[in-house]
Amino acid sequence: MKRFIPLSALLLSLPALADQVQVAVAANFAAPMQKIAADFERDTGHKAVLAFGSTGKFYSQVKNGAPFEVLLAADDETPAKMEQEGLAVSGSRFTYAIGRLVLWSAQPGVVDAKGAVLKKGGFAHLALANPKLAPYGAAAMETMARLGVNDSLQSKFVQGENIAQTYQFVQSGNAELGFVALSQVYKDGKVTGGSAWIVPADLYSPIRQDAAVLANGKGKPAAEALMKYIKGDKAKATIKSFGYDL
């Protein structure tokens, strides 16, 4: 005899527990996170609602009551600070990517393979993210200080609020070159378009990008599921394909 399962029971067995999670994402991680979010929804039924911006601004917004449930930061200091202040769930932090810095121009032949253009000059504007808000901006300043060109280039600086705006300055030609995240110009194992110098990792402090469940996300299945998903092999492969180290 066949048994018929009530429709209500079937509905409960589907991702009826599927939910949305509000995610604050560092601007440099926009492209990989969009792919990860699509895979996450397809694989789990949960939907990640993404907002992109600078880590410093997200910190201020969360302090002022913004309803984010997960933070994917551009550094490791901000999530640690938020954990200490009770804004993030203790023990939820982990490093999901290690960012890489690149000096890039949208035009071929502007940036040489060793970054000597920084000492030679011949350009009017150099874009970088605000070092007070964006870790990639801080890494750019550290790089130039170690190369001994900070003072000579300062008058050429064009600061973006975050790394996304910095990329736009360079991509549009408003700045001939600029320091951006490698992930913004990297695809299929190489830099695509323009000219670039991938800054050696020993010229700046490691850009450890940490994720954390925020206080609003505590105990919420979708937030916990996303954190677990980002640690999985599928998400890691995506992260690596955009030029990040793991």
| pLDDT of res. 198 | 96
Rg (CA), the chain: 20
Structure-token pair, residue 203 = 């010229």
Question: Pick the residue with more confidence: 172 or 2?
Answer: 172
For the chain, domain boundaries = 19-98+206-241, 101-198
Helix axes 77-84, 55-63, angle to 10 degrees: 10
140-170 pLDDT, tens digit each: 999 999 999 999 999 999 999 889 999 999 9
Residue 15 pLDDT greater than 50, yes or no: no
Q: What is the CATH number of domain 19-98+206-241?
A: 3.40.190.10
Bridge partners, 51 (sequence order) = 24
Using 50, 70 and 90 to split pLDDT, how confident is the model at 6? low
In this chain, the answer to whether the domains covering 19-98+206-241 and 101-198 adopt an identical fold is: yes
By CB atoms closer than 10 A (0-12, 13-18, 19+), residue 9 is exposed
Contact 161, 131 (CB under 8 A): no
């926009």: which residue's tokens? 30
Separation between Cα atoms, residue 203 and residue 169, nearest integer Å:
24
Distance CA 48, CA 46 (A): 7
Band (pLDDT 50/70/90 cuts) for residue 17 is low
CATH 3.30.300.160 fits 101-198, yes or no: no
- What average pLDDT does the segment 52-78 reach? 95
pLDDT 10s digits, 205-222: 999 999 999 999 999 999
Q: For 41-68, what is the mean pLDDT?
A: 95
Phi, psi of 153 (to 5 degrees): -100, -10
Q: Model confidence over 68-113: pLDDT tens digits?
A: 999 999 999 999 999 999 999 999 999 999 999 999 999 999 999 9
